[in-house]
Structure 1
Amino acid sequence: MAGLKGARERWVRTGGIELCVAELGDESRPTVLLVHGYPDSKEVWSEVAHRLAERFHVVLYDVRGHGRSTAPTPLRGGFTLEKLTDDFLAVADAVSPGRPVHLVGHDWGSVQSWEFVTVPRTEGRIASFTSMSGPSLDHFGHWIKQRVARPTPRRIGQLLGQGVKSWYVYLLHTPLLPELAWRGPLGRRWPKILQRVEKVPAGDYPTASLPGDAAHGAWLYRDNVRARLSRPRADAYAHAPVQLITPTGDVFLSERLYDDLGAWVPDLTRRSLPAKHWVPRTRPDQLAAWIGEFVGANEDRSTKAPKTTAKSGVRPEYAERFGGQLVLVTGAASGIGRATAFAFAEAGARIVAVDRDGEGAARTAEMSRLIGAPAAWGETVDVSDEQAMEKLAAKVASDYGTVDVLVNNAGIGLSGSFFATTSEEWKKVLDVNLWGVIHGCRIFGGQMAERGQGGHIVNTASAAAFQPSRALPAYSTSKAAVLMLSECLRAELAGQGIGVSAICPGIVNTAITATARFAGVGEEEQKRRQQKASRLYGLRNYPPEKVADAILRAVVRNEAVVPVTPEARGAHFMSRFAPRALRAIARLEPPA
């Protein structure tokens, strides 16, 4: 089977048709049942299915009239939600007769799955439901009626906005036109349209059955949409826990459709994903992580899933924004990098902790898992080594997926006058502080851009980027370059949905003081100054956790330049409105 290598195949008879069912993984494990949308076949799930099969018994089937399943005769009336529910129960009884299944639906797979999870006859057969890009027609109908009955400018705007997004629904109700288009030019061009518009990777999807699938699937809309939207059920309450995954870039569905969902779903978990509509193909790693976490939590309801928003003051919206995303942090063995990895872990993100101190990176990864990360890995690399960074990026992409948030945090300190600083010292600072950031942005940022589903890059600069100092020429130059690089990248990547933020802390109590170098002095004086700097930073005692929280907030708000500490905010203000005063301060000679 294309895209489903190693799958076991069976046929399930129901209502005069045959459904083609594929299975992966150990049948003794919990069953995850994946239902595809329109105009897809079960192969849309292949990347997600293979990832889930490492932990679960995974089942996929071609919806009636799609893929290798047969179509009803006649087509009219053969695709009602009632008959689709019959199909689901037949498949569930065949593949998991004595145990409820964990249901996952995308697009029309989600629309029909909402029916499965809200009708009485399926109660007890569904352990959990993960929905993406497909609302309940009943909930949608009530959503429309509420806005028509009590119109306000905001509600009217929501109705009009969704009306525009639903343009294709009107076309699918026209006689013969969809069938002719899909069996003609649209069917031939659809793969390239998906690649260009949705950034869906080329490969063995969609399958050759697409024209027929799409023609038959038009009856999903004709048999159900108008009837349910005009007469929505009043008892459409979910009888199983629901995880809602909302792609924020979905051009077909407004996020506002789910505003009232809590009234219909007593046990609701919400996730948002910066991606477009076809997330099973563009974000399989993310979906597999979220689905696996949700299934695992609901297999044993007596053991609650970790509350990712209750630790270290991380606010609730972070869990919805970052849960399951892949976050890579350089310089993660200590200080701001470690605190940032922990903050993202508390929000449920998967963590790649990178540092040239391999043991420190491994400890950060281990602690991230304990804090709440569904998965975390430690990787050893010197960010100034371009080839090493290339190898790391290839490994991360192959083993963990494309990075959603990149935090270029690794850096070193160097103090001393310009003429006391040697060329070798300049090179070392620029290699780590600037070139390390360039390598990360170019390599991992390039993967984000190629994926075409957005992302975010955070570059740790410093208040020294806009605060000149006679004692920090090399360090300040490297950080000023990082700040300008961030601004330039932000402009270039904005059109691709990739945000770029420069974080500019001031004096933060981290281990950088213990490893900072002082140009032009001997080793004994080096140690004395390092100890003195450590004491001063300790007295200031601004914790790295506050910088980490600023980083998460910057990603959520897509902030450009973020001064963090009070002195950083003051210096940033002066650089814009009182630069002469800042230059005067820069002339002061710091105490030895």
Structure 2
Amino acid sequence: MKQYFVPAGEAAIWVSEWGHRDNPTLLFVHGFPDDHKVWSAVIEQLEDRYHILALDLRGAGSSTRPEGRDAYKINRVIPDFAAVIDHVVPGKPVHLIGHDWGSSLCWSFVANRKFSERLASYTSLSGPHVGLLWQWINQQLRSGRPSAIRKAIGQLSHSWYIFAFHIPKLPETLFSQLGTWIWPLTMKQGGVPENDEYLEHSAAEIKSVSVNTIELYRQNAFAPPEVPDAGSITVPIQLILLQNDPFIRPYIFDDIERYAPNLTRRTLDSNHWAPRSHPQQLAQLVDTYVQSIITQQERAA
């Protein structure tokens, strides 16, 4: 494994790299409150066959933390992914995999035509396009249908923490003073196994993945990016629905094919942190999908 910084304008992004660059490249993007190590058990299953990159989001892990709060707006963050791709494998299409906020950020990446040209495929877990999520909630609430309204309220109730994170100083105080208790408790409630080495984060590491990146919520949750046009997301996408996720309910993706017609659905009987609880199954889903994309490309050539 190699590790290094990639310059990305106002941030320096910490990248871990495995495998030979001649192999198909996978780029893993983590969520909140995580760093690239959330993917380690999945990467172990794939590193012999792929060239793998895993980054720390700006502010998280070993990546540098920009000073301005608006540096965490989605349109400021996603160029970091392009910087990593262009630095490590310029001109080579990459298979993108995102979880939680990493997934939400990646949805905006694939919805951007300039950035999407760098990709061969995208695999999404537990993170919607933020603009599409709010559009879906509004549509359900305005529909007048009791079942639709219940779904919207259900997702909002599962997203209670988003509102809590907007209370000034509250998350900073909790994660700074009680982080070594709150963070592993949250991980375990989200499905991380009791004996998982990933739970062994120091107070400084917990601060970097929580306090340093809390602005992802504050800058984007209630000021979402523009909704993409119908049919405009052309990148091949694998959507893995985690059936027991307490934060993201699978039904919020009911009409996602309207925007991403080249989409394959898969399900996993998992809680939120599937990269820790189900690494073998997740790696198999990624491997099978990526190989199918490679086969399609070879036949088209």
TM-score range, shorter chain: over 0.9
Distance 1:269 1:235, change over 3 A: closer
Establish whether residue 57 from structure 1 lines up as the match of residue 57 from structure 2. no
Distance 1:47 1:201, change over 3 A: farther
The counterpart of 1:25, out of the listed 13, 19, 27, is: 19
Q: Tell whether the 8 Å contact from 1:109 to 1:134 is kept in structure 2 after alignment.
A: yes
Distance apart, 1:250 and its partner CA: 0.4
Establish whether residue 70 from structure 1 lines up as the match of residue 70 from structure 2. no
Supply the distance in 1 between the matched residues of 2:223 and 2:228 (Cα, whole angstroms). Answer: 11
Which residues of structure 1 form unaligned runs of 5+?
A: 1-6, 305-592
1:36-80 residue CA offsets vs partner (Å, 9 max, x unmatched) = 010000000001112111110010010000000010012x10111
Q: Which amino acid aligns with 2:105?
A: Q
Q: Secondary structure at the match of 1:99?
A: coil
Supply the distance in 2 between the matched residues of 1:236 and 1:293 (Cα, whole angstroms). Answer: 25
Distance 1:212 1:43, change over 3 A: same
The counterpart of 1:37, out of the listed 6, 31, 42, is: 31
Distance apart, 1:91 and its partner CA: 0.5
The counterpart of 2:113, out of the listed 120, 133, 146, is: 120
Establish whether residue 262 from structure 1 lines up as the match of residue 257 from structure 2. yes
Q: Secondary structure at the match of 1:58?
A: strand
Distance 1:234 1:197, change over 3 A: closer
Supply the distance in 1 between the matched residues of 2:231 and 2:136 (Cα, whole angstroms). Answer: 13
Q: Which residue of 2 aligns with 1:392?
A: none
Counting only pairs closer than 5 Å after superposition, residues 376-525 of structure 1 correspond to structure 2 as: none
Q: Which residue of 2 aligns with 1:84?
A: 77
Q: Tell whether the 8 Å contact from 2:143 to 2:149 is kept in structure 1 after alignment.
A: no
Q: Tell whether the 8 Å contact from 1:119 to 1:236 is kept in structure 2 after alignment.
A: no
Distance apart, 1:234 and its partner CA: 4.0
Q: Which residue of 2 aligns with 1:213?
A: 209
Counting only pairs closer than 5 Å after superposition, residues 128-527 of structure 1 correspond to structure 2 as: 128-195=121-188, 198-206=191-199, 207-208=201-202, 209-228=205-224, 232-234=227-229, 237-302=232-297
Q: Tell whether the 8 Å contact from 1:24 to 1:50 is kept in structure 2 after alignment.
A: no
Q: Tell whether the 8 Å contact from 1:139 to 1:236 is kept in structure 2 after alignment.
A: no
Distance apart, 1:15 and its partner CA: 1.8
Distance apart, 1:203 and its partner CA: 4.0
Q: Which amino acid aligns with 1:139?
A: L
Q: Tell whether the 8 Å contact from 1:140 to 1:257 is kept in structure 2 after alignment.
A: yes
* Percent pairwise identity: 35
Distance apart, 1:102 and its partner CA: 0.2
Q: Tell whether the 8 Å contact from 1:128 to 1:240 is kept in structure 2 after alignment.
A: yes
Which residues of structure 2 form unaligned runs of 5+?
A: none
1:214-255 residue CA offsets vs partner (Å, 9 max, x unmatched) = 0122100111111117x6444683221000111110001111
Q: Which amino acid aligns with 1:141?
A: W
TM-score by length of 2: 0.93
Supply the distance in 2 between the matched residues of 1:223 and 1:233 (Cα, whole angstroms). Answer: 19
Supply the distance in 2 between the matched residues of 1:144 and 1:192 (Cα, whole angstroms). Answer: 29
Q: Which amino acid aligns with 1:176?
A: K
Supply the distance in 1 between the matched residues of 2:54 and 2:177 (Cα, whole angstroms). Answer: 28
Distance 1:198 1:302, change over 3 A: closer
Supply the distance in 2 between the matched residues of 1:222 and 1:232 (Cα, whole angstroms). Answer: 19
Distance 1:178 1:284, change over 3 A: same
Q: Secondary structure at the match of 1:20?
A: strand
Q: Which amino acid aligns with 1:252?
A: F
1:477-519 residue CA offsets vs partner (Å, 9 max, x unmatched) = xxxxxxxxxxxxxxxxxxxxxxxxxxxxxxxxxxxxxxxxxxx
Q: Secondary structure at the match of 2:57?
A: coil
Supply the distance in 2 between the matched residues of 1:265 and 1:52 (Cα, whole angstroms). Answer: 27
The counterpart of 2:9, out of the listed 15, 27, 48, is: 15
- How many residues in Structure 1 have an aligned counterpart in Structure 2? 296
Distance apart, 1:16 and its partner CA: 2.1
TM-score by length of 1: 0.48
Question: Which protein has the larger Cα radius of gyration, Structure 1 or Structure 2?
Answer: 1
Q: Secondary structure at the match of 1:200?
A: coil
Distance apart, 1:181 and its partner CA: 0.6
Q: Tell whether the 8 Å contact from 1:130 to 1:245 is kept in structure 2 after alignment.
A: yes
Distance 1:19 1:199, change over 3 A: closer
Q: Secondary structure at the match of 2:123?
A: strand
Distance 1:195 1:228, change over 3 A: closer
Q: Which amino acid aligns with 1:112?
A: L
Report 1 or 2 for greater relative contact order, CA contacts < 8 Å, sequence distance ≥ 6.
2
Q: Secondary structure at the match of 1:205?
A: helix
Q: Root-mean-square deviation (CA), in Å?
A: 1.8
The counterpart of 1:97, out of the listed 90, 100, 109, is: 90
